[in-house]
Chain A
């Protein structure tokens, strides 16, 4: 077994009295695609914010590539190879798609100057199937293409671990299939991916491992087919009555 890429130990975050994330521990191995699921308000996004430096934990440690990166700021983690995308796409609105991607290629230190970064950007856009949109501004692109642009920005920084926060939200069924295809291709390039998702269809199709959160706590972590059938997970998703009903019917 290879050494874990990411190790999270006892991570907690309180907002005043509310325990948004409580004592969460897990590991991510290189190259694996993991699903992070849970109902609304379970603490998924807060957990991602804590791991990627957008929030500081009240307790616990985060280790990435064997070093303690607890509380490191997002741009530092980005340069180390720990990246995330946001639920709501965050483009540079006045930059072309090319410059959007070039920014992360350059500032992540993966290109030595801006023109090399722009060249790298074009290659990444091409690879993600939006090469023809290189000169377009994000506001004039469709949501599906803006999501691809978001992925392109992440890929251009050559991440080792990528957290994707609801990358499929707002997409239709065929667009989701295209994104899944892209994600598999990115993972095949050696990038570990954690997918934060609502849609069980996406998670089952993509992830061999699931981490489940409920009310700030991690309630299950294991192989997808086992975790998805777990009674506790089902009751967290459907409510105790719904889960019992479902079990009764099966």
Chain B
């Protein structure tokens, strides 16, 4: 039954997001490390929540996150360079990613499992090539300078953090809403048994495309904020496959298909990354990899479902 808690959840998430945004100006001057870390956290959370809609809820393991992230970064960057206001650039980036995602998703979501994963991965390579080749617009391999939201780096960083927090709240609220609505119910049916889903009257192609489009729009918006935060983007950075892989790892750590799992997984992932990178400088990434494998072994369904199982009232 749809409980009141489920109905209120998206509102609460937005409220908490709003409070966090209001707290950002209180961060003391010069705390660049903390600010960078918080922004990275919010960014990874957005991508993880976005991936979870398709990979977790619907059961289609997409590797296309980096493609839409990169596309959003470039659309946002190019438009801002043309002098368009930041908000318009952000919206256009989300729309561009969603507009590409709808037909692309509709096509490749007919594939399943490994085949879908590989097809989604290809989009990164395609967009990277197009971006590099279209040098007159994107600067090609030379990269693109993106005017920040403000002239001084500190204000830009604060604004970027606020935007990332805002977008992650929006992402989490929409994911909570989708998960508890009939759309999420239908997506779960598709994940469990697509033949049965069609037999139950579910338009699987439509619902899957819807989830993929929403997911990609979020990734595209995150890319646009990233571009104006970093101030300089190039194809090998924003179309790096790690933008696809890290969100997946975060979701697997936190809990596949759960609403809050991606956020918890993000916090754990970033914490591990920082601790290891600081302490084992030469083998940080390697140690992180080993630790992730260990986590997946011992908490195969992720932190959140494991905790729930442990503390569920008997």
Q: Is the interface of B mostly helix, strand, loop or mixed?
A: helix
Give B199-215 interface residues, CB cut-off 8 Å to A. Answer: 199-204
Residues of A within 8 A of B130 (CB): none
Q: A232 to B192, alpha carbons, bound, how many Å?
A: 44
**Residues in B whose Cβ lies below 8 Å from that of A86:** 195, 199
Q: Within the assembled complex, what's the spacing in Å between the Cα atoms of A216 and B198? A: 26
B181-198 vs A, CB cutoff 8 Å, 1 = contact: the mask equals 010011011001101111
Is A108's CB within 8 Å of the partner chain B?
yes
Q: Are A153's CB and B199's CB within 8 A?
A: yes
A198 within 8 A of B: no
Cβ contact within 8 Å between A92 and B199: no
Q: Does B314 contact A (CB under 8 A)?
A: no
**Assembled-state Cα–Cα distance A154/B200 (Å):** 8
Residues of A within 8 A of B (CB-CB), count: 30
CA distance A192 to B302 in the complex (A): 47
8 A Cβ contacts from A96-133 to B = 99, 103-104, 106-109, 113-115, 118
Which candidate, A19-27, A29-37, A71-79, A180-188, is the interface stretch facing chain B? A71-79
The yes or no answer to A231 lying at the interface (CB within 8 A) is no
Q: Could you mark each residue 86-100 of chain A with 1 if its beta carbon is under 8 Å from any beta carbon of chain B, else 0?
A: 100011111100010
| A residues less than 8 Å from B2 (CB atoms) | 113-115
Report chain A residues within 8 Å CB of B199: 74-75, 78, 83-86, 90, 104, 153-154
B67: min CB distance to chain A, Å: 28
Q: B residues within 8 A CB of A83? A: 199
Chain B CB within 8 A of A236 CB: no
B198, B202, B203: most-surrounded residue (chain A CB, <10 A): B198
**Which A residues form the contact surface with B (CB < 8 A)?**
54, 73-75, 78-79, 83-86, 90-95, 99, 103-104, 106-109, 113-115, 118, 153-154, 157
